[in-house]
Amino acid sequence: MQTYTRLDARSSDFEHAFRALLSAKREVSQDVDDAVGAIIADVRGRGDAALFDLTQRFDRVDLRASGLRVTRDEIAAARGAVPDRTFEALKLARDRILAFHERQKPADQFWTDALGVELGWRWTAIRAVGLYVPGGTAAYPSSVLMNAIPATVAGCERVVIVVPTPDGVLNPLVLVAAELAGVDEIYRVGGAQAVAALAYGTDSIAPVSKIVGPGNAYVAAAKRRVFGQVGIDMIAGPSEVVVVADSSADPEHVAADLLAQAEHDAVAQSILVTDSGDLADAVAAAVERQLAALPRRAIAGPSWRDYGAIVLVPDLDAAVPLVDRLAPEHLEIIARDGDALARRIRDAGAIFLGPHTPEAIGDYVGGSNHVLPTARSARFASGLGVLDFMKRTSVLKCDAAALAALGPAAVALGEAEGLDAHARSVAMRLKG
């Protein structure tokens, strides 16, 4: 049986083995692009009729009977189906996510420079946004909160959810979370057809200007295709955690955190980086012990064995460049100098500090967003936030004196670039 990968930074083949870990191909790339192209064309051409037919085919649901839009009565009924303990936890999560994201609202800036030019920019919300919510077992109410709340904080007027309901099943937790988050419209349609409907609109679903949220290969391919017609967030890949720990860490806790990541997906990746051989051994043993009792061991086991790793480093200083190269979605640091270490890390989606901050706190109730850059994209991307639902308009105003000061340089550059109409539009005002 394959086991997790164990690397030692002091061994001569470490660089080679670490590169293999970095480049492990975790995504099964399905070639669905042609199928997705046809689905998008169908929805653009036939609108609702295409949504009805495709949903009948893929989800075995007759939307002509049930209606595309989820009704107020269904949302009220969902509230009744959710235990109070869960509802209260969702409300706590909602309140904390709201408070965190309120702080992300950007400020406009306007100033007048030494030449008298008035400059600045203004932020405004995107009017209408769509959130893709996966159906079935991956329909997580926490993700509904994390995707929708930044949009409502931004001030989007229409926050629209699309969610597939295979065989008619719709998780009541999703509806309750949507209600708590302030979602305006919910449609029971999924896949590439839902993305096409959001991008181009149908009689029943008015188009939006941006689409966010995770989905399967069809959804990802559809988002890639409609990008430009609408904005999209990142294309989500498989998820990962890196735990940096020294001998102060509790091996049972570390093992539990590695498995919390591994249970998401058989291609999720959990990595421990430590300077303690004893901790490494204890964590490896604890992982096996905890796995045996885990309901989702059929997912977490293969994830750990195929993609899990323990990396031994001579000291935690040596962990810093390795973490940056991994650019993990989630980084936990459980070490004596944890805070100082955290400040030296540059490429990570989110950092969870100290022994009392398991990543699962951040998944649910910390307040920060759990939609984070996966698959090493923390090198260039951020977690979801309020700015993803706003856009900036720059403003420029010259008076005659400012134009007189700047104009000649603009004329020179327009002429140098061979754009005479540019130069003339400035030059004729300088004469006046």
User: How would you write 199-265 as a 3-class SS string?
Assistant: HHCCCCCCCCCEEECCCCHHHHHHHHHHECCEEECCCCCCCEEEEEECCCCCHHHHHHHHHHHHCCC
State the Cα–Cα distance between residues 285 and 255, nearest whole angstrom: 9
Residue 144 exposed, middle or buried by CB count within 10 Å (0-12, 13-18, 19+): buried
Find the binding residues for its own copies in span 397-416 (CB under 8 A).
397-400, 402-403, 406-410, 412-414, 416
Tell whether 15 is in a known binding site: no
Q: Which of 101, 253, 330, 370 is catalytic?
A: 330
The reply to whether 263 sits near its own copies by the rule CB under 8 A is: yes
Q: Of 179, 263, 329, 359, which one is the catalytic site residue?
A: 329
Both tokens of 277, joined, read: 């051989």
Instruction: Please provide residue 60's backbone torsions phi and psi, each rounded to the nearest 5 degrees.
Output: 55, 40
Question: Does 253 carry a binding-site annotation?
Answer: no
Q: Binding its own copies by CB under 8 A: which of 23, 28, 295, 315?
A: 295
Contact positions with its own copies (CB under 8 A) in 83-102: 83, 85-86, 88-90, 92-93, 99-100
- Whether the Cβ atoms of residue 97 and residue 145 lie closer than 8 Å to each other: yes
> Measured between alpha carbons, how far is 255 from 15 in angstroms, rounded to an integer?
25
Rank residues 58 and 121 by Cβ distance to its own copies and give the closer one.
121
Q: Which of residues 47 and 366 has its CB atom nearest to its own copies in the complex?
A: 366
Instruction: Name the residue nearer to its own copies (CB basis): 30 or 124.
Output: 124
Task: Give, as ranges, the residues between 132 and 191 that touch its own copies (CB under 8 A).
Answer: 137, 140-142, 173
- CA dist 40 to 32, 130, 192, 194, 223, Å? 12, 16, 7, 9, 10
Query: CA 248, 255, 89: angle at the middle one, nearest 5?
Result: 100
Collapsing DSSP to helix, strand or coil, 332 comes out as strand
Instruction: Give kind and range of the element (H or E) at residue 395.
Output: strand 390-397
Stretch that binds its own copies, among 51-59, 146-154, 311-319, 390-398 (CB under 8 A): 390-398
C-alpha of 147 from chain center:
8
Amino acid 107 reads: A
Count Cα neighbours of 204 within 13 Å in the Cβ-side half-sphere: 23
- 308: helix, coil or strand? coil
Cβ 105 to its own copies shortest distance, Å: 11
The residue ranges of DSSP E strands in 79-193, in sequence order, are: 109-112, 118-125, 128-132, 158-162, 185-187
Interface with its own copies includes 356 (CB under 8 A)? Answer: yes
101 annotated as ligand-binding: no
Largest CA distance in the chain: 84
Does residue 332 have an active-site annotation? no
Binding pattern for the stretch 25-64 against its own copies, x by CB under 8 A and - elsewhere: ----------------------------------------
The answer to whether 330 is a known catalytic residue is yes
* Angle formed at CA 340 by CA 363 and CA 362, multiple of 5 degrees: 5
| 19 is an interface residue for its own copies by CB under 8 A | no
Q: Which of 248, 257, 309 is nearest to 279 (CA)?
A: 248
Residue closer to its own copies by CB (options 54, 351) is 351
Q: Is 104 annotated as a binding residue?
A: no
Piece of 3-11, 70-78, 312-320, 393-401 that binds its own copies (CB under 8 A): 393-401
Cβ proximity to its own copies, 11 vs 112, nearer residue: 112
User: For residues 299-318, which are near its own copies according to CB under 8 A?
Assistant: 300
User: Per-residue contact track with its own copies, 114 to 143, x per CB under 8 A?
Assistant: ---xxx-x--x-xx---------x--xxx-
CB of 66 to its own copies, least distance (A): 25
- Residue placing its CB nearer to its own copies in the complex, 141 or 213: 141
* 103 contacts its own copies (rule: CB under 8 A): yes
Share of the chain residues as helix, strand and coil, in percent rounded to the nearest 5? 50, 15, 35
Is residue 111 near its own copies by the rule CB under 8 A? yes
Burial class (CB in 10 A: 0-12, 13-18, 19+), 401: exposed
Query: Does residue 362 interact with its own copies by CB under 8 A?
Result: yes
Q: How far is the CB of 191 from its own copies (least distance, A)?
A: 20
Smaller CB distance to its own copies: residue 28 or 428? 428
Residue 233 as a binder of its own copies (CB under 8 A): the answer is no
**Residue 226 near its own copies by CB under 8 A:** no
Question: Would the annotation count 132 as a binding residue?
Answer: yes
- Contacts with its own copies: how many residues (CB under 8 A)? 124
Active-site amino acid positions? 329-330
Residues flagged as binding site: 132, 193, 216, 239, 261, 264, 330, 363, 417, 422
- Which residue numbers belong to the known binding site for Zn(2+)? 261, 264, 363, 422
